[in-house]
Amino acid sequence: MALTGVLRPGHAQIRVLDIEESAKWYENVLGLVPMGKDASGRVYFKTRAERDHNSVILRQADRAGMDFFGYKVLDKTTLDDLDKKLQAHGVKTERIPAGELLETGERVRFKIPTGHTIELYAEKKDVGNATGYTNPEMDVIDGPGITPIRLDHCLIYGGDIDGAREVFTKVLGFTLVERVKLEDGTTDLATWLTCSAKAHDIALVRHGEDDKLHHVSFQLGSWEQVLRAADIMSKNRVSIDVGPTRHGITNGTTIYFFDPSGNRLETFCGGYDHYPDMNPITWTWDEVGAGIFYHNRKLNDAFLSVVT
Amino acid sequence: MALTGVLRPGHAQIRVLDIEESAKWYENVLGLVPMGKDASGRVYFKTRAERDHNSVILRQADRAGMDFFGYKVLDKTTLDDLDKKLQAHGVKTERIPAGELLETGERVRFKIPTGHTIELYAEKKDVGNATGYTNPEMDVIDGPGITPIRLDHCLIYGGDIDGAREVFTKVLGFTLVERVKLEDGTTDLATWLTCSAKAHDIALVRHGEDDKLHHVSFQLGSWEQVLRAADIMSKNRVSIDVGPTRHGITNGTTIYFFDPSGNRLETFCGGYDHYPDMNPITWTWDEVGAGIFYHNRKLNDAFLSVVT
Amino acid sequence: MALTGVLRPGHAQIRVLDIEESAKWYENVLGLVPMGKDASGRVYFKTRAERDHNSVILRQADRAGMDFFGYKVLDKTTLDDLDKKLQAHGVKTERIPAGELLETGERVRFKIPTGHTIELYAEKKDVGNATGYTNPEMDVIDGPGITPIRLDHCLIYGGDIDGAREVFTKVLGFTLVERVKLEDGTTDLATWLTCSAKAHDIALVRHGEDDKLHHVSFQLGSWEQVLRAADIMSKNRVSIDVGPTRHGITNGTTIYFFDPSGNRLETFCGGYDHYPDMNPITWTWDEVGAGIFYHNRKLNDAFLSVVT
Amino acid sequence: MALTGVLRPGHAQIRVLDIEESAKWYENVLGLVPMGKDASGRVYFKTRAERDHNSVILRQADRAGMDFFGYKVLDKTTLDDLDKKLQAHGVKTERIPAGELLETGERVRFKIPTGHTIELYAEKKDVGNATGYTNPEMDVIDGPGITPIRLDHCLIYGGDIDGAREVFTKVLGFTLVERVKLEDGTTDLATWLTCSAKAHDIALVRHGEDDKLHHVSFQLGSWEQVLRAADIMSKNRVSIDVGPTRHGITNGTTIYFFDPSGNRLETFCGGYDHYPDMNPITWTWDEVGAGIFYHNRKLNDAFLSVVT
């Protein structure tokens, strides 16, 4: 099969400070579909277009951030195979039994060298296409929320991004799409990696503290949907970090904004196709501003400092 | 690696009746980049964003149509491996030496049961990203042509589409994304297949005559670019078959139009992501109109009859 | 004042065959705001953004069509003044008392030479901006309907379009924006007129029968909203006549479609600004197709024949 | 006539520090059409879609800013009539002879109480529609520049904006569309005025120094064109002040950016229709941020301080 192994970003468990307020916000402002609550009080969501049962899990905690980010793999055999390869690479793995997350099969959990917890899983209940598998209608947006298409990627901050990249590229089959170099011209400040033909399925930024979240990103279908998202954010007094603007890196259009707990989220649109035979693009330190925010070619203060 | 095997549509060799007129039209109206001419008189093009040397090859002939459609595979080992698998499946293959197409490596050529010639290849010269691999600028459209992003897919007509589908799915790793059933509810009228996470990398329609081309498709970046394409077509007196409109199948927006030789081309935008773990969507015979042209829910006469 | 006299299209009274079904359709599919019912059973609507009480009035009847189309004028003095000017031009006028239409002041009603009933009025209750007159929020679309911005114009069919044009231009201060000539190169097949700086506030087509409606048009904010409208139409099995496409005349993008009674409506976007110092644009008979439907440059059969 | 008196913004004479560099920039980056040079060395431009000979005049000077802003009026009679009315209002007027600006008739020049020079004129040579007055084609963007549709409005800073507003509304027939109040809830910080049905044809902001320019604005046709403009700015290292974003006031989308001399320009799209029978919208001091920049609801430092 042409696309095998790790398929795509599948779920993110996000820590929130007030789960009731957050659940309302993720439903009414972000426009996700509520998919239930589990015995431990976690609240589940998916986007309208996603066919698997859940992609965003909120957990009440006393500090914001992301507990783990999970990727769906092709099947059970792939899961076992990648588990073995991770161990062979020196990564300690753990098995989380099926059902620990609602409607989700067994997960292989491990820490990458930046301290983040990543998961792989092969099974999550298919709850169907929004308008059905037979003669589906177009799924026109008909509610007040932003209503993204899918969970798209995350960008995480930590120390050993070289080690983390090796896990993704050497073990999990990801490809390097773009990178930003530090002043020395050698060390990576950041790398963008894909497991499919998307511009990125994860990104890593070098940072003094491990296990930090920069943002979880959701895909929108057009630049006009990005404008609608910004309007909805303002109307709901959502704190916008940056945007609407464009990234030089990936060419995608973007808004960075914060959920009520201070977790940065992104609505992202576009981004070119990248295949594993292609060369990566490199940004030098003097042009990192244009790489991150193409229009004004300057990093804002928050980009390198505000994480959860 | 997560994306391996067959990566993407790479080239289409199209027959034209007047190669000089056609070369001008593909450059000035469609907005492709001319990439040279070979000893046999064939004329080569790529889109601005494509990094490989060529994707469209025009050949002078006395009837329109498509000579062959080629897919790029991950590497030389993959090429040899797929060649063996094709033969094991009973498909006779042929090796075309490197250089027979400009800047293109050795190709494995074979006929699928619908009579079409398909090729695989692992090497085509990287001529670079339009704005470079280091600190690239945005590639803003600055000319009169339509300027598509990439060669996207083709739709071909022939008899044994079941046999052809088997070659693509069982040997080459493609996945079934959508299908249309005939009145009997069992036989496929048409199938849409992907080798990546795109909505389709090839589509097949059952037809009385083999080796027929319905259209070669080029990707655009937005619905507004589709409008601009239609304006350019009208201004240049390009014959439009249908559109701008939307397909129910894939959800993509579209214009079908004809090159000066009568070959149908498409400018296509959008289409949802499809991964190999997902269920295919089925259209029943009574709703085939909405599947093909979502807005007016009717097939036009030309869809099932005009092919080259 | 720079803009005085006749300001804009204000209301259209449309005949429908089943008022309950139609009222649901105009609310849920077209996305208008229901504004009440009067003693005679007429049902009132406005768009979300319109500040005056009503713009669309549905009346149950045994045949479809438009009873009258009304323009708002600057003030009561203007109304009286234009009444006198109409009479001086030989147009018989009638006064409809305030309140005959809900929340609407006295109207001056008259027939133009094509047999259509046109009205002028100076007062209609201001029900406010959708998000208020103080610190208004953006009015983001949050429901299932098409949700147009405003009543934009109408296109009417009748015999003496020259006489009708004279009433609009010589008495009511409209300006000629575009025209289509018949084969003789002299006679107007159709004219587009504006009372503001819009591309048209009314259009007239020469036709064998008087007092016919071609379409009532509603403005949308973008080409992407036109696509959304087409998706909503298909989903709701609305019969689409033509579109999405573009008019050569006015440059606007368009969909022609039918309400449940067979009245043709339009969702229209764009159109250039036209000021009274500008020359009109002329379309010759051989290019009328491109003038009406720019992309395929052909009139469809329905354009000249299907009216209500 | 419904639209009479002052029709629209017609020309702006802008001071630049290096006229050769600026002429290249206005042509290649902003995408205006060069229309010649006069004996005094001034360089003339129009947008592609404008039919009058010129709308932007560059004059070499040792400081940036705007010399004057001109409005086209309906005809010579209107010009004389408005001249008299200005004088009756106590405004001293001056006649600039025809031909002083290329292809432009006699102008009535006067200073408004904020110290700015405003002009009225009735004649400027019609150089035709970009694609002709007979069977015109769509004018598809086919060059590298931003290519705005028209000169849209200007925003000027000065002391007595109440007096200036009176000239525009009481003498020239403009209408108040929106206003921002200072902390006292009474004094206007700023007002937006229209002479047509556009959201604004001029705007005034209260400021300590007279005769200052905040920006000259050019209209774009879509939010996607705003994105393209921002991409072109970055590619050409144009300094962007703010945007792409949306104004709460007018609802228009915007980029503020600087020409090579430091004059702020705007690319603007959208904005609702405003007619003289409509109530103005008021923004209170605590929400001025959302009024100016709707998405982040904050004024940037430059908005109230950087003028030329």
In a domain, D143, yes or no: no
The pLDDT tens digits along chain A (308 residues) read: 688 999 999 999 999 999 999 999 999 999 999 999 999 999 999 999 999 999 999 999 999 999 999 999 999 999 999 999 999 999 999 999 999 999 999 999 999 999 999 999 999 999 998 899 999 999 999 999 999 999 999 999 999 999 999 999 999 999 999 999 999 999 999 999 999 999 999 999 999 999 999 999 999 999 999 999 999 999 999 999 999 999 999 999 999 999 999 999 999 999 999 999 999 999 999 999 999 999 999 988 888 888 99
Are B219 and B168 in a shared domain? yes
Contacts of residue B297, Cβ cutoff 8 Å, sequence gap at least 6: B287, B289, B290, C234, C237
In a domain, B15, yes or no: yes
**Chain C residue whose CA is closest to A144:** C142
| CB-closest option in D231, D233, D295 to A230 | D295
Shortest distance between the Cα of B7 and any Cα of chain A, in A, equals 7
Q: What is the ipTM of this complex?
A: 0.96
pLDDT for the residue numbered B130: 86
Question: Is a pLDDT exceeding 80 seen at residue D1?
Answer: no
In a domain, B134, yes or no: no
- 8 Å CB contact between C277 and C194: no
Q: Would the CB atoms of A197 and B196 count as touching at under 8 Å?
A: yes
| pLDDT tens for each residue of A239-252 | 999 999 999 999 99
Kindly list the residues of chain B whose beta carbon comes within 8 Å of any beta carbon in chain C.
223-224, 227, 230-231, 233-234, 237, 240, 243-246, 253, 290, 294-297
Q: How many CA atoms lie within 13 A of C270 on its CB side?
A: 24
Q: Which of C200, C207, C214, C274 is catalytic?
A: C200
Q: Looking at per-residue confidence, does A205 or B304 come out higher?
A: A205
Q: What is the DSSP letter of A21?
A: H
| CB-closest option in B1, B135, B246 to A284 | B135
Helix (H, G, I), strand (E, B) or coil at A3: strand
Are D258 and D301 in a shared domain? yes
In a domain, A191, yes or no: yes
Q: What is the DSSP letter of B243?
A: E
For residue B42, CA distances in Å to B45, B59, B109, B123, C205 come to: 10, 5, 18, 19, 51
pLDDT for the residue numbered D304: 83
| CB-closest option in D3, D126, D282 to C134 | D282
| CB-closest option in B138, B224, B234 to D222 | B224
In a domain, A26, yes or no: yes
Helix (H, G, I), strand (E, B) or coil at D167: helix
Residues of B in contact with A281 (CB under 8 A): 129, 133-134, 136
CATH code, domain with C240: 3.10.180.10
Are C290 and C175 in a shared domain? yes
Q: Angle at Cα D148 formed by Cα D147 and Cα D151, nearest 5°? A: 140
C256 is catalytic: yes
**Chain A residue whose CA is closest to D247:** A231
- Please tell me the distance from the alpha carbon of residue C9 to that of residue B95, in angstroms, as a whole number: 70
- The tokens describing A249, both together, are 């890196």
In a domain, D248, yes or no: yes
Are B193 and B79 in a shared domain? no
Shortest distance between the Cα of A127 and any Cα of chain C, in A, equals 22
**Chain C residue whose CA is closest to B252:** C227
- 8 Å CB contact between C192 and C161: no
Q: b/e per residue, B240-251, with b = 16+ CB within 10 A?
A: bbbbbbbbbbbb
The whole domain housing D170 covers: 150-305
* Closest of A248, A252, A158 to residue A205, by C-alpha: A158
What amino acid occupies position B53?
A: H
Residues of B in contact with C237 (CB under 8 A): 297
Residues of D in contact with C275 (CB under 8 A): 3, 7-8, 72, 196
**Chain B residue whose CA is closest to A198:** B197
* Closest of D216, D225, D212 to residue D26, by C-alpha: D216
In a domain, B138, yes or no: no
Are C234 and C276 in a shared domain? yes
Are D234 and D191 in a shared domain? yes
- Please tell me the distance from the alpha carbon of residue D150 to that of residue C215, in angstroms, as a whole number: 30
SS3 assignment for B11-77 = EEEEEECCHHHHHHHHHHCCCCEEEEECCCCCEEEECCCCCECCCEEEEECCCCEEEEEEEEECCHH
- Please tell me the distance from the alpha carbon of residue A36 to that of residue A34, in angstroms, as a whole number: 6
Q: How many CA atoms lie within 13 A of B207 on its CB side?
A: 25
What's the full length of chain C, in residues? 308
Kindly list the residues of chain D whose beta carbon comes within 8 Å of any beta carbon in chain A.
223-224, 227, 230-231, 233-234, 237, 240, 243-246, 253, 290, 294-297
In a domain, D262, yes or no: yes
- 8 Å CB contact between B154 and B79: no
Distance of CA D46 to the CA centre of its chain: 13
- Please tell me the distance from the alpha carbon of residue B69 to that of residue B10, in angstroms, as a whole number: 8
For residue C243, CA distances in Å to B246, B294, C154 come to: 11, 12, 18
| CB-closest option in B142, B234, B235 to D144 | B142
**DSSP string covering D25-44, please?**
HHHHTS-PEEEEE-TT--EE
Question: Is a pLDDT exceeding 80 seen at residue B1?
Answer: no
| pLDDT tens for each residue of B8-50 | 999 999 999 999 999 999 999 999 999 999 999 999 999 999 9
* Closest of D150, D83, D94, D84 to residue D117, by C-alpha: D94
Q: Would the CB atoms of D230 and A253 count as touching at under 8 Å?
A: no
| % of chain B residues with pLDDT over 90 | 95
Are B237 and B163 in a shared domain? yes
Contacts of residue A261, Cβ cutoff 8 Å, sequence gap at least 6: A15, A16, A17, A18, A22, A64, A308
Q: Would the CB atoms of C235 and A140 count as touching at under 8 Å?
A: yes
pLDDT for the residue numbered A1: 60
Q: Would the CB atoms of B235 and D140 count as touching at under 8 Å?
A: yes
C106 is catalytic: no
Are A51 and A169 in a shared domain? no
Q: How confident is the model at residue B222 (pLDDT cuts 50, 70, 90)?
A: very high
**Chain A residue whose CA is closest to B221:** A270
pLDDT for the residue numbered C1: 61
Are B208 and B301 in a shared domain? yes
Indicate the average pLDDT of chain D.
97
Consecutive H or E run containing B164? helix B161-166
pLDDT for the residue numbered A42: 98
* Closest of B197, A191, B33, C275 to residue D201, by C-alpha: C275
- Please tell me the distance from the alpha carbon of residue D167 to that of residue A250, in angstroms, as a whole number: 51
- Please tell me the distance from the alpha carbon of residue D307 to that of residue B297, in angstroms, as a whole number: 56
Q: Would the CB atoms of C230 and B246 count as touching at under 8 Å?
A: yes
Are C173 and C263 in a shared domain? yes
pLDDT for the residue numbered B129: 86
- Please tell me the distance from the alpha carbon of residue A243 to that of residue D244, in angstroms, as a whole number: 8
Is residue A210 packed enough to be buried (19+ CB in 10 Å), middle (13-18) or exposed (0-12)?
A: middle
Q: Would the CB atoms of C144 and A144 count as touching at under 8 Å?
A: no
| pLDDT tens for each residue of A162-199 | 999 999 999 999 999 999 999 999 999 999 999 999 99
Q: Would the CB atoms of A143 and C138 count as touching at under 8 Å?
A: no
Q: Is the dihedral of CA A30, A35, A37, A42 positive or negative?
A: negative
- For range B177-189, the mean pLDDT: 97
Boundary residue ending a domain (B99, B121, B143): B121
* First-to-last C-alpha distance (Å) of chain A: 38
- 8 Å CB contact between C82 and C6: yes
Q: Would the CB atoms of A150 and B273 count as touching at under 8 Å?
A: yes
Are B160 and B283 in a shared domain? yes
Are D292 and D161 in a shared domain? yes
A247 is catalytic: yes
A53 is catalytic: no
**Chain C residue whose CA is closest to D285:** C135
Helix (H, G, I), strand (E, B) or coil at A263: coil
Distance of CA A261 to the CA centre of its chain: 17
Q: Would the CB atoms of A49 and B198 count as touching at under 8 Å?
A: no
The pLDDT tens digits along chain C (308 residues) read: 688 999 999 999 999 999 999 999 999 999 999 999 999 999 999 999 999 999 999 999 999 999 999 999 999 999 999 999 999 999 999 999 999 999 999 999 999 999 999 999 999 999 998 889 999 999 999 999 999 999 999 999 999 999 999 999 999 999 999 999 999 999 999 999 999 999 999 999 999 999 999 999 999 999 999 999 999 999 999 999 999 999 999 999 999 999 999 999 999 999 999 999 999 999 999 999 999 999 999 988 888 888 99
**What domain count does chain D have?**
2
